[in-house]
Amino acid sequence: MAATRVIARVASTTTTSLLFKGPFRRSQSLNLCFNNKLVSKKRLCTCSALYKPEVQIKEEGQPETLDYRVFFIDNAGKKVSPWHDIPLHLGDGVFNFIVEIPKESSAKMEIATDEPFTPIKQDTKKGKLRYYPYNINWNYGLLPQTWEDPSFANHEVEGAFGDNDPVDVVEIGESRGKIGQILKVKPIAALAMIDEGELDWKIVAISLDDPRASLVNDVDDCEKHFPGTLTAIRDWFRDYKIPDGKPANKFGLGNKAANKDYALKVITETNESWAKLVKRSIPAGELSLV
């Protein structure tokens, strides 16, 4: 089944963003931004899909500070949301992937889903910047226009509910990405991580620019051309919280990586969840589904 494509006609000259991270979980209401004002009601902001995105990156503040943000700017010089305005699909099983954390780095960067235009920032805990206890060995980021629905219990993965975020991607190519870089990738596997009871998918993918991209098209190819990588990814995400005194994360689906077809299924379902969220949130007359 083809994924739903969303086109929103925005009445305002400013593209605003959907905001629903933070304290929101299944039974709670949403904090959101409408015309760049934070309100609390079950209605979200409009967004527009840039199906031929030509965006630039604008940094504000100094890296590794609380004020640091990476914004996405369109050709008109306006801020856009990397989560909502960058297209997911590029056709032929190829997708846009946005780098949040470059490989061989430890600053825990992420899309700020609770801020206007959802820029990339460094995550915090109790007012302090967060770092992984050791470097992540792959480019890490998100698939735009996806959402892991926190009201949906996945009965294939222990009934775990979605983690209320875009879908994560682990890109295994040899080149180190940059924060905010958009790469064309093809999925090859999926890991069903369960983090404190929430389902947090990890799509394993490879950049089309990687020299071995043509050789890697499914989970078995990954084992052949990147031996041990899938196990290393699983073990990294299983154990990274242990140094902070937390329990290891678990994995569903038999503790193994699912194949490409399953990864595509996850992407389709979470894209549809995102589309439904946008559809029910945009005022009548401002949304058309194609």
In DSSP terms, 198 is beta-bridged to 161, 195
Task: Give the C-alpha separation, 16 to 188, whole Å.
Answer: 33
Instruction: Name, in order, each residue with C-beta under 8 angstroms of 187's C-beta and a sequence gap of 6 or more.
Output: 93, 95, 203, 204, 205, 260, 263, 264, 267
Task: Give the C-alpha separation, 287 to 290, whole Å.
Answer: 10
Query: Which member of 51, 131, 132, 134 is catalytic?
Result: 132
Q: How many CB atoms lie within 10 A of CB 160?
A: 23
Task: Give the C-alpha separation, 120 to 49, whole Å.
Answer: 18
Task: Give the C-alpha separation, 118 to 150, whole Å.
Answer: 19
Instruction: Name, in order, each residue with C-beta under 8 angstroms of 86's C-beta and a sequence gap of 6 or more.
Output: 50, 53, 55, 72, 80, 96, 98, 144, 145, 182
What kind and span of H or E run contains 91? strand 89-91
Catalytic (active site) residue 262: no
Positions marked catalytic: 132
